[in-house]
Structure 1
Amino acid sequence: MANEHLQEAVNTLKNTKVRMTPQRHAILEYLYETMNHPTADDIYKALESKFPNMSVATVYNNLRVFKNVGIVKELTYGDSSSRFDCVTTDHYHIICSDCGKIVDFHYPGLDEVETLAEQVTGFQVHDHRMEIYGSCRDCNAVAH
């Protein structure tokens, strides 16, 4: 599944004339394989042994390119570092208030929210985002 989405992302880049470099491919691959909403720093640390000449700035610049093309979303929750998420299907995030871990979950019923919001307000809805906060299992286990 991750490979299929990775291939779609690569094709999207090709269609927008963005050159596929080994570094870009490695960053994308990391995002699609881990699916753990890494920060740019996480990505840099994971790939620095493979690409000793790559800097954190390179990672940020490539993530910006991916974001502009629409294959990656930047998640800004609270005042922590931005995290990056592959754009696959519509999904929501539940965030641990203690350790900052972000987990995806799908709830198709929420898609109706946009339609309802348009009908009630007359707005043209472009997007919506919902965050749910709690304590993950690991943090809960430590607390109890």
Structure 2
Amino acid sequence: MENENLQKAVESLKAAKVRMTPQRHAILEFMFETMSHPTADEIYKALEEKFPNMSVATVYNNLRVFKEVGIVNELTYGDSSSRFDAATDTHYHIICKDCGKIVDFHYPVLDEVETLAEHVTNFQVDSHRMEIYGKCPSCASKEPVHL
């Protein structure tokens, strides 16, 4: 059965008059199946065997369209390549400093920070972002044990 979020994304693209090509569908499908916050290069490498004529530029162009339609978010961290997130609901990320793995987590109480920030600063808050850094279980288990 096709992923419900993938179906909603396809419907959003159709509503925005974006033609559904096989490559576009494959990129979307990859995004919703992996939920791994991939880079455009990672998506390209995962799909290049199935679509040998597809270029990295095609992947980037499609991700730009998906971002404009609101079905993916672009994540930028420091100087590294952008990563793309198919989960567009409000959530946060924890990032492994060793391997770069990104995992989603939800903490609804933190949404109140915008209201507090507005009250304290008189700013008009549009959004907020929080990242937590550490080591994923896999990287932490590779650490040498000091006796």
Q: TM-score, normalised by structure 1?
A: 0.94
Larger Rg computed on CA atoms:
2
Identity of aligned residues (%): 77
Q: Measure how far apart 1:102 and its partner are.
A: 0.5
**C-alpha separation in 2, matches of 1:2 and 1:74:** 24
Equivalent residue number for residue 98 of structure 1: 98
Contact 1:5/1:32, CA 8 A, preserved across alignment: yes
Mapped contact 1:36–1:103 kept (Cα < 8 A): yes
Aligned to 2:113: 113
| CA separation of 1:99 and 1:2: change in aligned 2, threshold 3 A | farther
Aligned to 1:43: 43
1:85 counterpart residue number: 85
Question: Which stretch of structure 1 is more off in the superposition, 90-99 or 119-128?
Answer: 119-128
Where in structure 2 are there 5+ consecutive unaligned residues?
A: none
CA distance in 2, matches of 1:12, 1:120: 38
Query: Which ranges of structure 1 fall in alignment gaps of 5 or more residues?
Result: none
Deviations 1:32-91 (A, max 9, x none): 000000111110011111111100110001001111111111111122211110134211
Residue pairs, 1:1-144, within 5 angstroms: 3-144=3-144
Give the drift of 1:122: 2.0
Counterpart amino acid of residue 89 in structure 1: D
RMSD (Å), alpha carbons:
1.5
CA offsets 1:78-136 (integer angstroms, 9 cap, x no match): 22211110134211000011111111111111111111112222222111110000011
Contact 1:2–1:32 (Cα < 8 Å) also in 2: no
Work out whether residues 73 and 85 of structure 2, in 8 Å CA contact, stay in contact via their aligned partners in 1. Answer: yes
**Larger mean Cα displacement after TM superposition, 124-133 or 1-10:** 1-10
SS at match of 1:94: strand
* Whole-angstrom distance in 1 between the partners of 2:52 and 2:108: 42
1:2 shift after superposition: 7.7
State the alpha-carbon separation in 2 of the partners of residues 4 and 122 from structure 1: 40
